[in-house]
Amino acid sequence: MRRYLLFTALCATSFFYAQTALKNYGTMQVHEGGEIGFHTNLINDGTLNQNLGLAGFYNTVQSLSISGTNIPRFHNFEVAVDDNLLLNINTEVSNNLSFISGHVITPRNTPTIALDFVNEAFNVLEANTRHTDGYASFTGNNVFEFPIGDDNKLRPLITPVQTNSPKFSAAYFNEDPNTPTTFSINFNTNTFDDNLNKVSIDEFWDFDGNIPTTVILTWDEQSNITNLVTNLDNLRVVGWNKTTNKWENLGNINTTGNLNTGTISSDVFIADNYEIITFGSYNVNVIGETETNLIINNLFSPNGDDRNDTFVIEGAELIDNVLEIYNRWGNLVYKTSNYRNEWGGIANVNNVLKRQELLPAATYYYVFKDLEGDKTYTGWLYINY
């Protein structure tokens, strides 16, 4: 454990040290190769966001806190506070965070206050007894495993490779969504789409972001996946839709592990359309009929070679429907009624590129509404030239 510091106070009156807190009024900077150890609370009312060295919080006796009016940003960050480090203000990490002991706790009733990983930052050493108990966010393009949990229970959520450095945030709740402790509404696990059979009553995640993405959820024996399915092929990620106020199927494009421990990957969806997400089970009887009559081919190449040139939904021609296509940023690029498999990747709405121009090769997000069966299908598609 480091018990020394090397930093620059660029203003002679930049900080005030008392028995219970170090208060920064001016400008502090930990230079490259430098280290600073906090054994007391930090109140940051000055500038503390140009650090290039290591900052650590250490205490084996009592909890510590970070507060103030200005967000601190640490380059390399260590947390070794046995009774937890409490964040009363957003705290940023720009390179690496090491969980050594204790949790980093954020106020769950204020989701905007989070442990923020920026500039492709990452974390190590997280475990059941050391993680973010509350909200964490990530801004960047890399795969990111959110080091989140609830009390002494780590339950990561993973986002895949992105483009244009979007921001996502997440928190894990080890509680029944029917009776959540920090939400103003309940999430009735008996209210769901016809293509679902059951929704978990053991745990859920709050996941936020405004661009389409897939997500990976993790489970262990305490998740009670066996109460939902006997075959992982029938497991689904499900989300509480903010508009319909019911649980919606968010898909299963891959699972790993077994019924006691594993992961599941969702289809593409926009997190901000859903209050929370968790596990659910597939209604085999209803979905079996749907898959027989409606097959969505989510890869096409509109390059004029007369092969796979349009987005095909087999069975769409048999029903009244509405098709909407969105780009990664959640912008509508195409919309039509009574779709008949004619879309060749050309935008038909303004404010995207130009109307009637081919969209770039990329992943997009579709919403297909079956007006006759009153069902909505969502997922991803990929345009490749």
Which range marks the domain in which residue 359 is found? 294-383
Residue 354 is predicted with a pLDDT of 60
Q: Residue 32 domain-assigned?
A: yes
pLDDT in tens, 11-69: 333 445 445 788 999 898 899 999 999 999 999 999 999 999 999 999 999 999 999 99
Domain boundary among 257, 285, 313: 285
Mean pLDDT of 120-137: 96
CATH number of the domain where residue 353 is located = 2.60.40
Let me know whether 25 and 58 are in one domain: yes
Assess contact for 370 and 319: CB atoms under 8 A.
yes
Q: Residue 3 domain-assigned?
A: no
- Decide the pairing of beta strands 321-326 and 332-337: antiparallel
Let me know whether 226 and 362 are in one domain: no
Domain boundary among 253, 285, 317: 285
Q: Residue 2 domain-assigned?
A: no
Let me know whether 198 and 133 are in one domain: yes
Domain boundary among 264, 285, 306: 285
Query: Binning pLDDT at 50, 70 and 90, where does residue 292 land?
Result: very low
Specify the residue for token string 């009363």: 88
Adjacency order of strands within the sheet including 362-370:
299-300, 375-383, 362-370, 321-326, 332-337
With the CA atoms of 358, 167, 52 and 50 taken in that order, what torsion angle do they form, in degrees rounded to the nearest 10? 100
Closest CA to 7 of 18, 26, 19: 26
Q: Residue 226 domain-assigned?
A: yes
Let me know whether 15 and 122 are in one domain: yes
Let me know whether 141 and 236 are in one domain: yes
- pLDDT of 81 strictly over 90: yes
Total number of domains in the chain: 2
pTM for the structure as a whole: 0.74
- pLDDT of 304 strictly over 60: yes
Q: Residue 142 domain-assigned?
A: yes
- Mean pLDDT in the chain? 88
Residue 178 is predicted with a pLDDT of 97
Let me know whether 103 and 195 are in one domain: yes
Mean pLDDT of 327-352: 85
Let me know whether 34 and 148 are in one domain: yes
Let me know whether 110 and 81 are in one domain: yes
Residue 285 is predicted with a pLDDT of 54
Assess contact for 238 and 199: CB atoms under 8 A.
yes
Cα end-to-end distance, the chain, whole Å: 55
Query: Binning pLDDT at 50, 70 and 90, where does residue 98 land?
Result: very high
Alpha carbon distance 364, 374 (integer Å): 23
Q: Residue 1 domain-assigned?
A: no
Alpha carbon distance 160, 116 (integer Å): 17
